[in-house]
Amino acid sequence: MALKIRLTRMGSTHRPFYRLIVIDSRSRRDGRGVSTLGYYNPVAQPAEVKIEADEALGWLQKGAQPSDTAKSLLKQHGIWQRFQLLKQGKSPEEVEAEVAKILETRNQSRANAAAAAEAKAKAKAEAEAKAKAEAEEKAAAEAAAAASAAEAEAQAQEAPAEEAASEEAPAAEETPAEEKTEA
């Protein structure tokens, strides 16, 4: 019997989770498995993965072939690397030391990537805040310039209006006097 380690879909519509199972390779996708090794929930943030490492390693040693996705999950937890090193004939102590080193390196690179992403997000937020402050300063300067221009225009309109009013007032006084002389 050809065995595969693969995922079987569970959950409702748009809310999937998967069980990592050992199954006959000729079975349908959601068929009954020989053994359940763990589960994978991609909907959770961050994604939840729980795998029984010893049981998975035992099935790999018995000849079960993992699917691509299952292999990826096994690599994330160091189970695949452990299997490969044991297959090369290394002692269990050497295997554990190398797997620990591999996982530590992977975790450190993930932490560095997360720190870089956080720094990038912080820099972006600072740039947006700076741009917003500059825009507010520019808007305030434009508003002040518009207010001073409106004030200057208002003063300019008041001055000619006063001059025109003073010119029209004597003309109005003179006009009735002329009418009296004509009449």
Identify whether residues 48 and 14 lie together within a single domain: yes
Identify whether residues 64 and 101 lie together within a single domain: no
Residue 172 has a CB neighbour count (10 Å cut-off) of 9
Out of 68, 89, 110, a domain closes at 89
Q: Domain containing 83 — which CATH number?
A: 3.30.1320.10
Confidence of residue 144 (pLDDT cuts 50, 70, 90): confident
State what percent of residues in the chain have pLDDT above 70.
85
83 pLDDT above the threshold of 80: yes
The pLDDT tens digits for 20-41 are 999 988 877 677 888 999 999 9
Whether the bond between 66 and the residue before it is cis, its omega within 30 degrees of 0, is no
Task: Return the structure tokens found at 20.
Answer: 């990592």
Residue 121's domain spans which residues?
A: 91-145
Identify whether residues 79 and 62 lie together within a single domain: yes
What pLDDT is recorded for position 51? 92
How many distinct structural domains can be found in the chain? 2
Identify whether residues 78 and 7 lie together within a single domain: yes
Q: Could you tell me if residue 179 is inside a domain?
A: no
What pLDDT is recorded for position 16? 93
Q: Could you tell me if residue 55 is inside a domain?
A: yes
Identify whether residues 18 and 32 lie together within a single domain: yes
Quick check: 37 and 20 in contact, CB under 8 A? yes
DSSP 81-126: HHHHHHHTT--HHHHHHHHHHHHHHHHHHHHHHHHHHHHHHHHHHH
Q: Could you tell me if residue 162 is inside a domain?
A: no
115 pLDDT above the threshold of 80: yes
Detail the DSSP E strand segments found in the chain. Answer: 3-12, 15-24, 35-41, 48-51, 65-66
How far apart CA 59 and CA 65 sit, in angstroms, is 9
Identify whether residues 52 and 25 lie together within a single domain: yes
Pairing label, strands 48-51, 65-66: unpaired
Identify whether residues 19 and 79 lie together within a single domain: yes
pTM: 0.59
The pLDDT tens digits for 121-142 are 999 999 999 999 999 899 888 8
